[in-house]
Amino acid sequence: MKVRTLSGLISIGLLLAVFTGMSAAPVQARPVEGEDWKSPATGMEFVWIDALRMWVGKYPVANNEYRRFKPEHSSGDFMGHDLNGERQPVVFVNFNDAVEYADWLTDRDGGQLPGNLRYRLPTSKEWGKFAQCGDGREYPWGNEWPPRSGSAGNYHGAEGAGDWDNVPGYDDGFAVTCIVERSWRNPWGLFGVGGNVWEATTSDRDSMLFKCWRGGAWSSHNQNQLRSTFRLALHGGRNRGNSFGFRLVLAPAPVIERAPAPPPVEPEKGVTAEPEKGVRQPVEDEAYQK
């Protein structure tokens, strides 16, 4: 049938989309630089952050995503408030739990990760960069203190469960953790970077060493702890608590290149190979840096 009007053409296009199962957004088989990414195994969303040349989790890892790895995990509750909802951020995980999860997800999605891409925790330095969004902001929401209700993350405001102090004049409506989609979105499109849960970070890109927790949580009220630069180095990352979770990034694994060791030098006749007293000998790592 020949359709002459634009609306008719659109209608037929919609019908074709319905009958053929077409989707407005193409299914992405592999991560492409400059485009956002969704983990095939979990549906977890990642935002391309050009300043870091890598993808950063749009949200902290949620309970339903963590339970794909450990089905028995419970994030519990606090004073009768549920922490265990499907889309609330996972808590009661420590640094090692987070590293194991990143490795598990890398294995699960591995067939669709080109090159040496892998999931890992952000370094503390990377975390600071996507918290400050390129403008050196003092707090994740900006530079004003205290934050205005509704213009910052999920912290311990007047609504907070627990009888400790509040962020002055603040009320975000969430007594404990909120679902990750409701925690505040920063200018780079990342949710909950400040507040909701403390996020585990590493000291370097190999993800093997704990550095600190970043960002504050639903239970946080202290002005200093809410700063973009604050680092909480609590018990070496071994503790699990109702305010501690994590976020993943997707980035190339570091390539460690080392120069070949120089050939041994034969000492001249009559010259001892022992180092001269008082002369500092270079250590091995210094040789590799040259």
What is the smallest separation between the CB atom of 235 and Ca ion, expressed in angstroms?
A: 24
When the beta carbons of 59 and 119 are compared against Ca ion, the nearer one is 59
Residue 28, token pair as written in the block: 């992405």
Contact 113, 33 (CB under 8 A): no
Which residues 6+ apart lie within 8 Å of 65 measured at CB? 42, 43, 44, 90
| Residue 57 vs 160, nearer CB to Ca ion | 160
In the complex, least distance from residue 126 CB atom to Ca ion, rounded to whole angstroms: 26
Angstrom CA distances, 247 to 62, 109, 214, 260, stand at 9, 17, 11, 37
163 secondary structure, DSSP code: S
Q: Which is nearer to Ca ion, 121 or 226 (CB)?
A: 226
Taking the complex as a whole, how short is the minimal distance between the CB of residue 247 and Ca ion, in angstroms? 19
* Smallest separation, CB 91 to Ca ion (Å): 14
Query: Would you list the DSSP string of 63-91?
Result: HHHHTTT-TT----EETTEE---TTSBP-
Q: Is the Cβ of residue 174 or residue 184 nearer to Ca ion in the bound state?
A: 174
**Closest to Ca ion by CB, 160 or 192:** 160
In sequence order, what are the residues at sequence separation of 6 or more whose Cβ sits closer than 8 angstroms to the Cβ of residue 23?
A: 17
**Where along the sequence are the contacts to Ca ion (CB under 5 A)?**
154, 160, 172, 174
Whole-number minimum distance, CB 178 to Ca ion, in Å?
7
Give me the half-sphere count of Cα atoms (radius 13 Å) on the Cβ side of residue 271.
8
Which residue sits closest to Ca ion, CB atoms considered? 174
> For residue 100, how many other CB atoms are within 10 A of its CB?
13
What is the nearest approach in angstroms of Ca ion to the Cβ of residue 58? Answer: 20
Closer residue to Ca ion in complex, CB, 33/181? 181
